[in-house]
Each structure stands twice: as C-alpha cells, then as structure tokens.
Structure 1
Amino acid sequence: MNKQELINAVAGRTGDSKAANGEAIDAVLGASMHALIADDGVQLMGFGSFSTGQRAARTGRNPSTGAEIQIAAARTVRFTAGKAFKDAVNAS
C-alpha cells in the first residue's frame, strides 16, 4: 500500500474527503518525524512504537571491486510492533 492508497482507504472508512484525509496523514507523519528528530519516541498503543538508535561506524566492501570502504556511523529509526498488531498479523 502506498500513501495514496492509504489516503483512499482512510477516506473510505471516515467518509471525509480525500484532501482532508491527506492533510491529516501528512500532519501525523510530520509530527512523528519531528519527534524522532528531537530524539523523542512515538508510541501508538495497539500499533507499535518508533524510536531512534545509533549504528556504529564499520568497515564494508565495495561489491564490484572488493575494496574495503569505511561506512560512517548513523542514526537509525527502529519500529517495534505492538502486541495487538502482532496478534492481528499472526491470526491471518
């Protein structure tokens, strides 16, 4: 499901316009990104939680040449599914 399909699905369930639902989804995603940028977690009860983590610098290999390359440290985003979400996925 892409973003437009999500907007259409939400609009079908709420009965609101696609434009209004698109703005609401954009607002939720934007607020979530800003919270993660500020190093705050986002918890959605019954769905899951988003948090940030650190990945250490490491040495990798260029697959085409085999040469070693240095991969820089980076911040990552982690998602942990909630119990209700896991149960729903496993029930189907």
Structure 2
Amino acid sequence: MSVNRTELVAAIADKASLTKVQADAALSALQDVLVTSLSKGETVKVTGLLSVERVERAARTGRNPRTGEEIQIPAGYGVKISAGSVLKSAVGK
C-alpha cells in the first residue's frame, strides 16, 4: 500500500487544519526547497524525521543485461535519504 500525492495533501490538510490548497502549496514548497538545496550540494535535515543529501557516484564499468556487453557508466550524482529516529521507531513497532 502507498500514499499518492492527493492522499498525502488531504492528510496534511486534515492534520494541520489547512485547506487542501494550502497543504498542496506547502508540499510544493517543500519539493522546491529540496530540489534547490540538493542541486547546490546542500544537505536537508529535518531532525528526527529524515536527512536528504546529494552523493557523488564514481565512473564505473557496468554490463548490459541483454547483451552482456561491458559499458562505461559516467560519474554522476545520486540522492541519499536517511531515516531519522522518529521514522525508525515508527517502523520498528
């Protein structure tokens, strides 16, 4: 089971006593802050909840799963999300 954006907006609106429009605006703002910060190489931390950071990936040799041919994968960036203590304890119950 998963929660889609519409369901998440409705839950935020209910929990925070906001309209769905306000909750959607807040969620969009969070998305913008994450994208902007990560593109600058900054880490975003919400203490106890989560930490999101940009990580470098070195160039490496991979293998095409269809042909078995070796391919060169260029260096790039990825995103690492770490759960905080609140999330860890919620999942552990």
Q: TM-score, normalised by structure 2?
A: 0.90
Matched to 1:84, the amino acid is V
Q: Secondary structure at the match of 1:52?
A: strand
Measured after TM superposition, the shift of residue 14 of structure 1 is: 2.2
CA deviations over 1:2-56 (Å, ceiling 9, x no partner) = 2111101111222321111101110011011101111111000110111111111
Q: In structure 1, list runs of 5 or more residues that go unmatched.
A: none
User: Number of aligned pairs?
Assistant: 91
Q: One-letter code of the match for 1:51?
A: E
Runs of 4+ aligned structure 1 residues displaced above 4 Å come to none
Q: Report the aligned-residue RMSD.
A: 1.0
Which residue does 2:7 correspond to in 1? 5
For residues 55-79 of structure 1, the C-alpha deviation after alignment (integer angstroms, 9 at most, x for no partner) is 1111111111111111111111111
Percent identical residues: 37
Q: Which residue of 1 aligns with 2:48?
A: 46
